[in-house]
Amino acid sequence: NSISSNDLILTAGPSISQREMIYSSDAAINGWNTKWSKYITKFENEFANYIGVKYAISTSSCTGAMHIALMSLGIKSGDEVIVPDITWVSTANAVRLVGAVPIFADVDINTWTLDPVSVEKLITNKTKAIMPVHLYGHPCEMDKIKKISIKYKIPIIEDAAQAIGTKYKNKFVGTFGEVGCFSAHPLKNLNAIGDAGYLVTNNNKLAKKAKLLRNHGIEKRNKVLTFGYVSRMDNLQASVLNIRLKKIKKIIKTRRSNAKLYFTLLQNLKKVILPIDNKFDFNTYHTFVIQAEKRNELKSYLEKKGISTAIHYPI
C-alpha cells in the first residue's frame, strides 16, 4: 500500500508550544511603536549571554547576517573569500552579494567541513576572509583555521547557520572568528516561526557598523549615516526565539540522544557510512547525514516505508 503524506515521518516539522503562541500573539498585537523591539532586545541580550560574546545582532536571516558581516569587514568587488565546496548555497551567495569572489576549498570527507590544508593552498593577496561552515551541526577544526587566520592576517566569518550550541574543544562555534553568523529558520535547532538570523561579535566597531547596515544605515529615526539594507529581525520572530532559547539545552540533548540511537541501530549496515566525530567535537546534529552507495534507491525504499528523507546537498 502507498503511504499518504499524512502518514510520513517527516525530516522536520513545527514545534510551537502554547507559551510561544502567547508570546507571538503579544508581539503581533502590541509589538509596534514604543514596544516594537521589546522581544528583539531581550533575545539579543540573552543570546549574547548564552554564547559568551559582547554583542548579538539580530537580522532577517543567516544570509543577511553573512552579507552584513562581509560588508562590515569592508570586503568588496575584486576581493576573494574562501568557502567550502559543499555547503548550502547561501554561503557563496553572500560573498557574491558584496561583489567578491567565492574561492572553493575542499572539505574533509569524514566531517564535510572545511579542510585547513586546502584553505592555506588557496590563499592569495586577494584573500580577504575565510568562511568555515559548521555543516550539519558538526564543528570545523577551528584551531587549525585560526592559526591560518593569524598567520596571514585574514579575518574569519563563521557560518554557524546549522550549529547553534555546537562546540569545538569546549568552545562555542561562532566565537572563534571576528564574526559568527547563525540561522533561526524553522528547520534549525533554535528556530523561529519564519526566517530569521543573527550575528555575534566581540568587536565594538564591527557591531556598530552591522547595526547600521541592517537598518538602511540609520542610526536614529531620521539620521542616515551610510548606505544600508533592510535586514532586520521582526519582533514576532524574536518573541518565539526568546522561549526557544530557554529550551535550547533540552533540544540539543534530544538531538544528540536521537543521533546516538541512529549510531547504535545503523552501525552494522553495509555500504552505509555514518558521521564521524572526534574527541574534540560537540555535534548538535542539526541533520544526521549518512552516505550510501545507492542513495536514490534507499530514499525510495524509506519513503515507501513512510520515512521522509532529503539529500544534503545535491551534487
How distant, in Å, are the alpha carbons of 46, 263, 273 from that of 237? 15, 34, 37
Q: Which residue(s) pair with 273 in the sheet?
A: 291
Interior CA angle at 61 toward 56 and 67, to 5°?
80
- What pLDDT is stored for residue 133 in this prediction? 98
**pLDDT exceeds cutoff 80 at 12:** no
What is the spatial distance between Cα 286 and Cα 284, in angstroms, rounded to a whole number?
6
Average pLDDT of the residues in 89-112: 95
Q: Output the nine-digit C-alpha cell for 137.
A: 551541526
Q: Is residue 14 predicted with pLDDT exceeding 80?
A: no
- In the sheet that 101-105 helps form, which strands lie side by side, from edge to edge? 101-105, 80-84, 127-130
| Per-chain mean pLDDT for the chain | 92
Question: Where residue 32 falls among pLDDT bands split at 50, 70, 90?
Answer: low
CB 308 within 8 A of CB 298: no
Contacts of 261 (CB under 8 A, 6+ apart): none
Q: What does the CA dihedral 50, 287, 194, 175 come to, rounded to 10 degrees?
A: 30
In sequence order, what are the residues at sequence separation of 6 or more whose Cβ sits closer than 8 angstroms to the Cβ of residue 121?
none
pTM (2 d.p.)? 0.92
Give yes or no for residue 10 having a pLDDT over 80: no
Letter for the amino acid at 118? S
What stretches of the chain adopt beta strand conformation (E)? 55-59, 80-84, 101-105, 127-130, 157-159, 167-168, 171-172, 179-183, 197-201, 218-220, 223-224, 272-273, 281-282, 291-292
Cα 261 from Cα 240, distance rounded (Å) = 29
pLDDT, tens digit (0-9, with 9 covering 90-100), for 161-218: 999 999 999 999 999 999 999 999 988 999 998 899 999 999 999 999 999 999 998 8
Distance CA 46, CA 34 (A): 21
CA–CA gap between residue 149 and residue 144 (Å, rounded): 9
Identity of residue 121: K
Q: How far apart are CA 7 and CA 307, in angstroms?
A: 9
